[in-house]
Structure 1
Amino acid sequence: MFTLHKLQSALRNNYVRAALLLAALAAAALFSWRSDVPQDTGPIMRSQDISQITALAAQRDKLEYLMVAAPLSEAPRYIFKLKGDPMLRVIKVPSTSHLSLEREVLLRNNIPYSIAREDYLASHKAVLVDEDDSKLARAGGFLRRHAVDILLIGLVLFLLRHGIPGTGVSATVLNPEQLKGNMDDLIGMEDIKQEVLHLEDMIRNRAVYREHDIDKPFNVMLTGPAGTGKTKLAGYLAKRLNVPLIQASASALESGYIGGGSKALHALHRKACARGSCIIFLDEAQGLFMPRGRGEKKWEDDTANTLLGLLDGVRSDQGAGVIWVVASNFDDASSQMDEAMLRRFSVKINFRLPNKGERSELLRSFLSRKAEGCVDWDALNLDHVAEITANLSPALLQTVVERASMIAIQEKAMINTDLMFRAFERATIGLTDRATTAEKTRQRERVALHELGHFFMQIDPWLREGLPLAEVKERSPLLKISTESVSKLGALGYVLSASDDVALRTLEELERDVIQLYGGVAAEELFYGARGISVGSQNDIQKATSMLDMMVNKLSMYSRSKLDYSQFKNKENDLDQVQAKADELYTYTLQSINDYREQINELKDVLMDQYVLSKDAIFALLEQQHQQRLLKAA
């Protein structure tokens, strides 16, 4: 219990702190909660409809606020409220979709958002909890009854221990001897290594650069997808330069109080200056790069403005040895950023995803760390594994290897190609389940037809060229077709295909992608009629719509005038062009898939019986069908 005697002692020891403490206690007693945390108590609407997030681009003016809860979990929640609408909307999305939504919808359209803080989630437990838990409910009841008492005691203890919020930030200080690893751990990525070595030379030989009238701090900006090694590289650089590394999360700078982020940055800088030569590493700093002046409140840009000043360096010897290194998952090519902030960084290093050769090296490195007898090297084709793991970051590749070890331990087996494939599927798709669909025969039949429709429209161009099935099999990226449910994706089946490293796709290839997406819904219409199409095609149609919008409006692939039509206000005309192209491609898909009706029907029966068909099994059945047709013709 916080006694009066202790309060008097605090008054005698520190009048300023005591005054602030009394003010905080009075504020708490009057239930004056922080203004930056929304206090909605209205009804909650839960959904897994990602289209509600994409629709925010057109509803930006109506948006009252938007927060992302648990962004690093397997199921982040987007929490938002529209002006004049009492409903609090909570959209649950897969973790695999979160980064795409953040980049393509929120950042690209300059939609303001924040990470949901713990105090908000504590007062809105229903946001993250899908079912009531009786024990938690009883605990919650106790907390509600004693909320004021707990709040007052906690606030007193916090202020006495940590001081006033906003005057500091949690930062990890690592000395060179505490930093693990070296540049050799950055497998492949020779272009990035060279950039880092050049940066090291610039820092070590500043006098040479002064001769060229370059006398500004070498601030460093690291960009690229998550899991590509940006944080590790900051540690490698500090170790090579033999200087301490002060690491902090940019998202944790804001304390919720006006000026809190600014004070936290100054505290970081003072801590670095006290050590002389030092690296300040700010991770997850994309929020600081958003264009300033977007909000109506003048203090919203205080943190970014402070960082701008600190990046310019101090006009004295103090702070001359401080190097700022910031990391962001986005760059100025993928999202709009503040140009003044970008100009402060003389060095920009863009990380990329590893190519096939680098993925093979990474996998070999991860697997070679295991004890002898854990890996069956004779039965392991790393080139094949590297091929199916296209577009995975080094961190995700390591996750695949760890998952392979878990499966190997459970099954008392050695890691081989097949086990690595299963680990890749588990790490990227999630846990599959047959029991969910076992008794749903009609639904599983629809799913089988839908997924086979995708597959046949994937190989349709090569079949129409008259290529033999062996060559079609070699070109096809298919890995398997399944009618098992995937709880992570909310799907009752899926087609698993290897990705492609090539990012520059042509108009013809993009049209093939749209046709392949339409293959599922076209198969349903072929077998059940136009009024028998199910809602299972929602995700396919959303993807096709996005691709057609990009092809027609943003890249003007069907027009001689190469313009980004999405920047103009004539949205109705844009819709007409997209609709016309969609009608053309879907009509082609429906006509084409009719040619494979007999084969789809036969494969459907086998898929229903076996639940899963591998690439080898599917093409073996196609070859068998082909031979039977030849015998009938003879």
Structure 2
Amino acid sequence: MSDMAKNLILWVVIAVVLMSVFQGYSPSSSNSMKMDYSTFLDDVRSGQINTVEVKSDQRTIEGTKRTGEKFTTIMPMYDQDLINDLDRKGVTMKGQEAEESGFLTQIFISWFPMLLLIGVWIFFMRQMQGGGGKGAMSFGKSKAKLMSEDQIKTTFGDVAGCDEAKEDVKELVDYLKEPTKFQKLGGRIPTGVLLVGPPGTGKTLLAKAIAGEAKVPFFTISGSDFVEMFVGVGASRVRDMFEQAKKSAPCIIFIDEIDAVGRQRGAGVGGGHDEREQTLNQMLVEMDGFEGNEGIIVIAATNRPDVLDAALLRPGRFDRQVVVGLPDVRGREQILKVHMRKVPLADDVKASVIARGTPGFSGADLANLVNEAALFAARGNRRVVGMEEFESAKDKIMMGAERRTMVMSEEEKEMTAYHEAGHAIVGCLVPEHDPVHKVTIIPRGRALGVTFFLPEADAISQSRRKLESQISVAYGGRIAEELIYGSERVSTGASQDIKYATTIARNMVTQWGFSDKLGPVLYAEDEGEVFLGRSMAKAQHMSDETASIIDLEVKQLIDNNYGRAHQFLTDNMDILHAMKDALMKYETIDATQIDDLMARREVRAPADWNMDENGSNGKGNGGRGEAVTSPEPSEAPAAEPASEPKEGDESPVVK
């Protein structure tokens, strides 16, 4: 019998009991008149009463008058003379036999409120004990969803672009299928596996593929599902989750976004007695405490491994950390082929060309690219998706949708054209910079215009010369405005360019050791947030004299590259004017036209869309028009360009 049927029967029984009680209290004659006992005695003595009937309780009297009117009265106390008075007046008297169940009924009625309270208490207790967190009051039960073997259709064939990560987790599948193979050699499978990587790289998909390949029960839960408003609920849910997992072992528990509950303890001002830390303590005990959890493998995913507690990352809990990073060009091609299976493609579509033009894209970005291309084809009433749609989809994802309805004056268009031309010309002349791919003055997203630079290959590190070239290119737009309009009319459109260039210069001096005076020493302070597990106290790592030298070095670095960009544009004013004219005429020029301009040749008209062997451009952002470089994945921490702002920042370079 289902829980709904049981609850329905319980409420029906309660309703029947209530109806019986209320019926017992209702008067037997709804049309009888209530009469005071003193009035009743006066009527008896005056001979107006015809019949009386004494009820079983020996106090209630019902009767009729000689006029036929019915009445009811209550005897306040036993009246011995009443019978004699009734007999003298010739009143017909009747009596009612006492009911045998009256005593039990009275006991039931008197105890009914207590019985009802006990029944309600039992009902709520059963709700609280509902398994799997399904009961209305089961806030202490785990919210982990159990997915059976038949529900998980994902396999390793659906995961592409992370071959190394797949190799690391294939051992889990082999162990779940054939544990004796490892046990006979004394091997122990990892208790927990932590999947680490940027957002959208396929960590959750990889966990589902593990469960789909192993054909074992799969419990999935988010880190935020543990902690709620009640104290102790998170720890209770952790205990219940592992109890359920033990009944289904061997199985997999997948905790997504574990940083929501696994952050470093002792953070903030309030000490270590908050609900989140108690939940983490219980998880630590369940994963590796006195009681073993044989056959239970915990897989967790996060993009913030730096804030996790050290006790959670030690061997015995999360024994293995699997890095699921951004895919390289070969991985992007494999991911694109996976997502293109469900899309009708034109004959000219080449996944390898698109992959070369999308450096820094994650798996989620590539899935979105294919979807946007399909939407472009549908809006154009196409039957297949071609390279033109993929080019338009990349432009939309990287720069934002075109805002052709935005009203711009001719003066603003001209200033934007000079600004973008300044970025492009300097980008073509400085050494080791990514090639210029496309320049547009069509407003897109938050930008009035964008200059795109496309890397020729995936870059892992950046040299000092390339970083200085990026600073020069960032100031190219502002310098072009200054040369044409004068310093009094320079606009605020270069604000993000200045921020970007200053960040690179400061990091070169304080983090990457590119200052001859200061040498290869780290001068940057720890900027960790206190409520993410960092200390409140910040130590001063440098003297005032050193800070002054850092400011001077940063200023000199910027001045040198600013002067270089100024000289390049001064020497090529004819190209600057020619590129402005081309932008005003065509609004968007590609790499071929830019080559014509730099060689001082006649500019060819652009094709409807251009696709060279490297695909398309990088990402753009807000401002009048910024120099935009495609994001470059960095696997080596020491060489990663930390100057690149995080996602969501309005900056020339978006990671």
Contact 1:203 1:218 in 2 (8 A): no
Kindly indicate whether residue 119 of structure 2 is the aligned counterpart of residue 13 of structure 1.
yes
Q: Which amino acid aligns with 1:601?
A: H
Distance in 2, matches of 1:246 and 1:13, equals: 34
- Kept in 1, the 8 Å contact 2:437–2:590? The answer is yes
- Offset of residue 239 of structure 1: 2.2
**Structure 2 counterpart of 1:412:** 381
Shift of 1:607: 1.0
> Would you say the 8 A contact 2:438–2:589 is kept in 1?
yes
Matched position secondary structure for 2:571: helix
Sort the Cα spacing of 1:216 and 1:397 in 2 relative to 1 into closer, same or farther, 3 A.
closer
Map 1:485-504; keep pairs closer than 5 Å.
Answer: 485-487=443-445, 490-499=446-455, 501-504=458-461
Residue number in structure 2 paired with 1:75: none
Contact 2:575 2:600 in 1 (8 A): no
Q: How does 1:210-225 map to 2 (within 5 A)?
A: 218-225=191-198
Aligned residue number for residue 57 of structure 2: none
Which residue does 2:329 correspond to in 1? 356
- Structure-1-length-normalised TM-score: 0.67
The reply on whether 1:593 has 2:550 as its aligned counterpart is: no
* Counterparts of residues 63-142 of structure 1 (less than 5 Å): none
Greater CA deviation, 393-402 or 271-280?
271-280
For the pair 1:189 / 2:147, whether they are aligned, the reply is: no
**CA offsets per residue over residues 91-148 of structure 1, 9 Å max, x none?**
xxxxxxxxxxxxxxxxxxxxxxxxxxxxxxxxxxxxxxxxxxxxxxxxxxxxxxxxxx
Contact 2:196 2:203 in 1 (8 A): yes
Deviation at 1:222?
0.4
1:254 pairs with 2:251: no
Aligned to 1:436: 406
Q: What SS does the corresponding residue of 1:503 show, helix, strand or coil? A: coil
Larger RCO, structure (CA 8 Å, separation 6 or more): 2
Q: CA RMSD in A?
A: 3.2
Deviation of 1:349 (Å): 0.9
The corresponding residue for 1:151 is: none
Which amino acid letter does the alignment assign opposite residue 491 of structure 1?
Answer: A
5+ long unaligned stretches in structure 1? 22-158, 466-474, 629-634
C-alpha distance in structure 2 between counterparts of 1:555 and 1:476, whole Å: 21
Q: Distance in 2 between matches of 1:226 and 1:175?
A: 27
Residues 578-613 of structure 1 show CA distances to partners (whole Å, capped at 9, x for unaligned) of 222222222222222222222111211221232222
Larger Rg belongs to? 2
Q: Could you tell me which residue of structure 1 aligns to residue 491 of structure 2?
A: 534
Deviation at 1:356, TM superposition (A): 1.1
Letter in 2 for 1:441: E
Q: Does 1:177 align with 2:150?
A: yes
Equivalent of 2:592 in 609, 616, 620: 616
Match of 1:277 in 2: 250
Q: Is the 1:217–1:312 Cα contact (8 Å) retained in structure 2?
A: no
Which one-letter code corresponds to 1:339 in the other structure?
A: A
The 5 Å alignment of 1:365-514 reads 365-370=338-343, 374-377=344-347, 379-413=348-382, 414-437=384-407, 439-461=408-430, 477-487=435-445, 490-499=446-455, 501-514=458-471
Q: What amino acid is aligned across from residue 201 of structure 1 in structure 2?
A: D
Instruction: Indicate the SS of the match to 2:406.
Output: helix
CA deviation map 1:237-284 (0-9, x unaligned): 112222111111113322133333323322322222232222110111
Q: Which amino acid in structure 1 is aligned with residue 391 of structure 2?
A: F
1:313–1:622 CA distance, 2 compared to 1 (3 A): same
The 3 A distance-change label for structure 1 pair 216 and 401 is: closer
How far apart, in 2, do the equivalents of 1:569 and 1:263 lie? 47
CA shift in 2, pair 1:201/1:599, >3 Å: same
3-state SS in 1 of match to 2:430: helix
Structure 1 residues 204 and 363, CA gap change in structure 2 (3 angstroms): closer
2:316 equivalent to 1:342: no
Which of the residues 170, 173, 189 maps onto 1:200? 173
Looking at structure 2, the residues matched to 432 and 627 of structure 1 have their Cα atoms a distance apart, in angstroms, of 24
| Alpha-carbon contact 1:272-1:278 (below 8 Å) kept | yes
2-side partners of 1:303 and 1:169: how far apart? 12
Q: Deviations over 1:367-391 (max 9, x none)?
A: 2433xxx3222x2243321111111
Aligned to 2:524: 566
Change (3 A) 1:320 1:525: same
In the aligned structure 2, how far is the partner of 1:272 from the partner of 1:328? 22
Q: Which residue of 2 aligns with 1:226?
A: 199
The residue identity in structure 1 corresponding to 2:473 is Q
The farther-off stretch of 178-187 and 305-314 is 305-314
CA distance in 2, matches of 1:592, 1:383: 36
Contact 1:246 1:279 in 2 (8 A): yes
Q: Percent identity?
A: 24
- Distance in 1, Cα, partners of 2:279 & 2:549: 42
CA contact (8 A) 2:438 2:451 kept: yes
Shift of 1:216: 7.4
SS at match of 1:279: strand
Is 2:303 aligned against 1:329?
yes
Q: 1:254 to 1:17 in 2, by over 3 A?
A: farther
* Higher-helix-fraction structure: 1
- Deviation readout 1:403-452 (Å, 9 max, x if unpaired): 11111122133323232111111223221112214x32222222211111
Q: How far apart, CA to CA, are the structure 1 residues paired with 2:394 and 2:116?
A: 58
Q: Does 1:302 align with 2:278?
A: yes
Q: Show the counterpart of 1:551.
A: 508
- Kindly state the Cα deviation for residue 202 of structure 1 after the two structures are TM-superposed: 4.6
Task: Give the whole-Å Cα distance in 2 for the aligned partners of 1:10 and 1:410.
Answer: 64
